[in-house]
Amino acid sequence: MGYVAIKGGNIAINESINRLKFERLKGEEIIEINRIKAGMRGMIDQVMSEGSLYSEDLAAIAIKQAEGSLEEAVFLIRAYRSTLPRKHYTRIIDSCEMFTERRISASFKDIPGGQILGASYDYTHRLIDFDLLDETKEDCLEWLESFKSKNSIQWSDTNLRQLPKVSDYLRKEGLIKSCGNNDKEPIDITKKNMEFPTERSERLQILTRGQTGAVTSLGYAALRAYGALHPTVGELRIGSLPLYMQNPLNTADKDEDNYYIGDIRITEVETFIPKTIDKKQGKKEIDFEIGYGICYGQNETKAIAMSILDQCLETGDINYPTHDEEFVLLHIDSVESTGFISHLKLPHYVTFQSKLDSFRKTHKGERYDEDKL
């Protein structure tokens, strides 16, 4: 009866776990956590984003433990997250205060503050660099030295902590409607189960925790055919945001009493999406709507896809699955989708036996005979 034998399950399972450890160690090399942190930035960012926990150290341990399997690492982080009491919430951040490392706009060539390319794969050729095969620590230090000396003479009068938003410019020009602040306290989706229809705060949380691949695919579907939106990236920013917490003993709500608790590095995207608005007497008008995407670390594709989906779900066009909040929000979580798919590996012999009984009842003794086929 294979792995559902009445006795012996325990022994087999322990051996399987040993075997797994063997797979991790059989190469006789150990990756130190600081090496993962130094060299696996993309993975760490993705694990923190999907794991919904900002800690490079924990992400690095999870990546090591999971042998680089992202779904497994995210799973570890999320499970750990469940054991942490949620005692405080950070204050609202104005993302204008971001210390910007990279900032581009596809809408305007010349934006106030200028385009800042920062670090990106976008401008590289994806050719495997065979020199990396025998890169040494000396090479690395030497390169760093020369890089730093070349960059030290640069100066600029741009304040990287106070860059204006491209969307603010459009608002000032009267090209997009300015909307008031929505000061409603956001719902914490990890404390309260989502109920439909959802609020935007819930949607944004689910989207930003979503599996990178799933968010990208659904965003792509909306872009390609299902809704055929064609958004323009108004502004994409990478940088760090300072986080503050209210002094729990002093509720006077003064900014200067807040505690600074650290920075998070994020990707933030605002896309402009043209919408046709029906006016009186059959006239139509084009308006711009804004889609918003944000995620931990540098993950530009996910953030852009998120901004598309944010806009799709705001519209809620019933013709497209990508605009259906249940379809999108209930299926993009890594832990949920990988968990349920993988549960198919569990024995199902009670349920299957039950189905067999129905099969036999409906077939009334008839059998599929191989000879007749």
List interacting residues with another protein (CB under 8 A): 1, 3-10, 13, 57, 75, 78-79, 81-86, 189-197, 326, 330, 335-336, 338-343, 346-358, 361-362, 364
Minimum Å gap between C-beta 51 and another protein is: 9
- CA dist., res. 197 & res. 278, Å (int): 25
Place of tokens 């935007």: 200
Evaluate whether 157 touches 94 at the Cβ level (below 8 Å): no
Q: How far is the CB of 24 from another protein (least distance, A)?
A: 18
Q: SS3 for 335?
A: helix
Q: Between 192 and 280, whose beta carbon lies closer to another protein?
A: 192
Quick one: 112 or 197, whose CB is closer to another protein?
197
C-alpha to C-alpha distances, 335 to 51, 69, 72, 85, 143, nearest whole angstrom: 9, 13, 9, 20, 40
Minimum Å distance from CB 11 to another protein? 10
Distance CA 227, CA 324 (A): 11
**Among 10, 8, 9, 70, which Cα is nearest to 36's?**
70
Return the number of the residue (120 or 190) whose C-beta is nearest another protein.
190
Q: State the minimum distance, in angstroms, from the CB of residue 354 to another protein.
A: 4
When the beta carbons of 89 and 352 are compared against another protein, the nearer one is 352
Taking the least distance from each CB to another protein, the nearer of 5 and 132 is 5
Q: Which residue, 189 or 238, has its beta carbon nearer to another protein?
A: 189
Q: How far apart are CA 305 and CA 212, in angstroms?
A: 9
Shortest reach from residue 3's CB to another protein, in Å: 6
User: Is the Cβ–Cβ distance between 142 and 126 less than 8 Å?
Assistant: no
Q: How far is the CB of 366 from another protein (least distance, A)?
A: 13
